[in-house]
């Protein structure tokens, strides 16, 4: 075992001397695995929720709720990569899953909780759920020609599931006799790679049909990156992901569930509750969908040699492009990185990406044969709340190679 380790170490040193600027600059071959994820909202901060004595000021909550309502947003991207680096040529292969979910409740619910309503008024509230899940496999080829670097990223993706804004509706009535009647009905359409079925814990894919479904429905998009070294310390570039062929989901499942709840102020300890059975109705239906379109331009500036590197970038994304549900959103990035001969890096950044404000602290520890990248962020769809820690995210990756 010691001889094997010594051999790998020797190959690593030789390849570094032949192909790299210093011992830690890059590996000739590596395997990398990890994930990034985040969960946030636009109303409650972590500090407010973790108090020893939690006090909820409903009138203040109603006043603080944004006009577009309460929103919970989540995202994740677990990936696996294999990379080769030879002088000015990089070849990589990666695979993973992309998940985006957004749930929202209208402001009128919080106005009711904070300010109440008149006796006999009928109040209606909506809960909307919007989500996309993709699996993907991508080839990454990057070649540097003098001052110009060109990167192409052809990718095949498979949509797994898509939800288009459906959710639940609730009706609340204050009776003149002091009663409170609440009725909740969920009626949601889910497009998926295969049929959904009811289980004791909720819903699941029909695994018997999953394998056959994996053989169809693939889409294709193309990533392109360009960068130009204006000077030794200043670089400008462009990154993009252009949809080419949409993926296809072949099933539409309608999910229904409901509950009625009634209680009187004079007898609040004995409420009446009736829950309706969960049902799923499946049908063959075709939905075509792309991964988000992305275009970003950026500038890198090296400071104090290679000790610091600052990056600034702007761009935009279009979620579900080329369809009636298309959503345009801007993006930006500002960050600075401290780099100690590529063995240790510390990065601070702020950005707006995939409709979320993200403020992140990250670090890299490179031991040559193994590298660790990890970071933590505060985030939210609301800029002020993102600064107040209304959500948390992070990433963690490990790379092994020589």
Q: Where are the domains of the chain?
A: 2-401
Question: What per-residue confidence (pLDDT) applies to 208?
Answer: 67
| Among the ranges given (160-169, 259-268, 278-287, 337-346), the one the predictor scored with the smallest mean pLDDT | 259-268
Listed in order, strand segments (DSSP E) in 320-381 are: 327-340, 344-353, 356-366, 370-380
**Environment class of 215 (CB within 10 Å of its CB; exposed 0-12, middle 13-18, buried 19+):** exposed
Tell me: the pLDDT tens digits for 164-208?
Answer: 877 788 888 877 777 788 888 888 889 998 888 767 666 677 666
Question: What per-residue confidence (pLDDT) applies to 357?
Answer: 97
Question: What per-residue confidence (pLDDT) applies to 98?
Answer: 97
Question: What per-residue confidence (pLDDT) applies to 17?
Answer: 44
Pick from 287, 283, 285, 286: nearest CA to 323:
287
Q: How far apart are CA 321 and CA 312, in angstroms?
A: 26
Q: How far apart are CA 175 and CA 181, in angstroms?
A: 8
| Among the ranges given (4-18, 225-239, 324-338), the one the predictor scored with the smallest mean pLDDT | 4-18
- SS3 state of residue 208: helix
CA angle, 214 then 216 then 220, to 5° = 105
Pick from 113, 111, 27, 101: nearest CA to 71:
101
| Among the ranges given (57-61, 89-93, 240-244), the one the predictor scored with the smallest mean pLDDT | 57-61
Question: What per-residue confidence (pLDDT) applies to 8?
Answer: 45
Q: How does DSSP classify residue 293?
A: E
Pick from 402, 401, 398: nearest CA to 32:
398
pLDDT of 9 higher than 50: no
Percent of the chain with pLDDT over 90: 54
**Helix (H) or strand (E) segment spanning residue 118:** none
How far CA 153 is from CA of 50, 138, 257, in Å, comes to 43, 6, 43
Buried b (16+ CB within 10 A) or exposed e, 251-276: bbbebebbeebebeeeeeeeeeeeee
Q: What top-level class would CATH report for the domain 2-401?
A: mainly beta
Question: What per-residue confidence (pLDDT) applies to 95?
Answer: 97
Average pLDDT of the chain to the nearest whole number: 87
Task: Count how many Cα atoms sit within 13 Å of the Cα of residue 330 in the half-sphere of its side chain.
Answer: 5
For the record, the structure tokens of 145 come out as 């020609």
Tell me: the pLDDT tens digits for 316-350?
Answer: 999 999 988 899 999 999 999 999 988 999 999 99
- Contact between 217 and 158 under an 8 Å Cβ cutoff? The reply is yes
Per-residue pLDDT, averaged over 280-287, amounts to 88
pLDDT of 276 higher than 60: yes
Q: How far apart are CA 88 and CA 369, in angstroms?
A: 20
Question: What per-residue confidence (pLDDT) applies to 33?
Answer: 97
For the record, the structure tokens of 358 come out as 């993200």
Confidence class for position 277, pLDDT limits 50, 70, 90: confident
Question: What per-residue confidence (pLDDT) applies to 77?
Answer: 97
Confidence class for position 27, pLDDT limits 50, 70, 90: confident
Tell me: the pLDDT tens digits for 151-164?
Answer: 999 999 999 999 98
- Highest mean predicted confidence (pLDDT) among 270-274, 284-288, 328-332: 328-332
Per-residue pLDDT, averaged over 360-374, amounts to 95
| Token pair 């939690």 in the structure block, residue | 54
Confidence class for position 20, pLDDT limits 50, 70, 90: very low
Q: How far apart are CA 225 and CA 239, in angstroms?
A: 4
Does 6 or 98 have the greater pLDDT score? Answer: 98
Q: How far apart are CA 97 and CA 107, in angstroms?
A: 33
Residues with Cβ within 8 Å of residue 163, at least 6 apart in sequence: 129, 130, 131, 132, 188, 189, 190, 191
Confidence class for position 61, pLDDT limits 50, 70, 90: confident
- Highest mean predicted confidence (pLDDT) among 92-101, 180-189, 246-255, 271-280: 92-101
Question: What per-residue confidence (pLDDT) applies to 202?
Answer: 63
């Amino acid at each position: 075992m010691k001889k094997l380790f010594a051999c790998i170490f020797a190959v690593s040193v030789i390849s570094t001397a032949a192909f790299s600027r210093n011992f830690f600059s890059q590996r000739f071959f590596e395997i990398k695995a990890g994930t990034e994820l985040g969960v946030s909202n636009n109303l409650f901060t972590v500090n407010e929720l973790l108090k020893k004595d939690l006090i909820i000021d409903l009138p203040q909550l109603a006043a603080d709720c944004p006009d577009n309502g309460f929103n919970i947003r989540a995202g994740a991207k677990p990936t696996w990569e294999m990379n080769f680096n030879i002088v000015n040529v990089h070849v990589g292969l990666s695979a993973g899953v992309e998940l985006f979910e957004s749930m929202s409740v209208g402001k009128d619910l919080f106005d009711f909780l904070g300010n109440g309503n008149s006796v006999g008024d009928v109040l209606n509230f909506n809960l909307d759920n919007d989500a996309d899940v993709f699996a993907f496999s991508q080839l990454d080829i990057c070649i540097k020609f003098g001052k110009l670097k060109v990167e192409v990223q052809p990718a095949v993706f498979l949509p797994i599931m898509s939800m288009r804004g459906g959710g639940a509706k609730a009706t609340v009535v204050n009776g003149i006799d002091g009663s409170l009647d609440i009725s909740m009905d969920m009626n949601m359409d889910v497009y998926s790679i295969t049929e959904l079925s009811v289980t004791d814990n909720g819903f699941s894919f029909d695994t018997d049909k999953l394998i056959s479904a994996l053989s169809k429905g693939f889409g294709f998009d193309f990533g392109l990156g360009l960068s130009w070294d204006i000077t030794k310390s200043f670089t400008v570039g462009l990154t993009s992901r252009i949809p080419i062929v949409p993926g296809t989901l072949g099933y539409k499942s309608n999910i229904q569930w409901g509950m009625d709840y009634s209680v009187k102020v004079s007898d609040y300890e004995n409420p009446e509750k009736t829950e309706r059975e969960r049902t799923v109705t499946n049908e063959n239906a075709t939905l075509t969908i792309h991964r988000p379109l992305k275009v970003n331009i950026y500038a890198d500036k090296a400071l104090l040699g290679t000790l610091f590197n600052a990056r600034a970038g702007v761009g935009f994304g279009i979620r579900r492009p080329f369809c009636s549900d298309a959503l345009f959103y801007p993006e930006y990035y500002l960050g600075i990185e401290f780099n100690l001969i590529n063995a240790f890096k510390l990065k601070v950044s702020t950005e707006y990406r995939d409709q979320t404000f993200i403020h992140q602290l990250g670090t890299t520890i490179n031991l040559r044969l193994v590298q660790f990248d990890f970071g933590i962020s505060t985030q939210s769809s609301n800029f002020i709340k993102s600064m107040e820690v209304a959500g948390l995210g992070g990433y963690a990756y490990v790379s092994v190679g020589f």
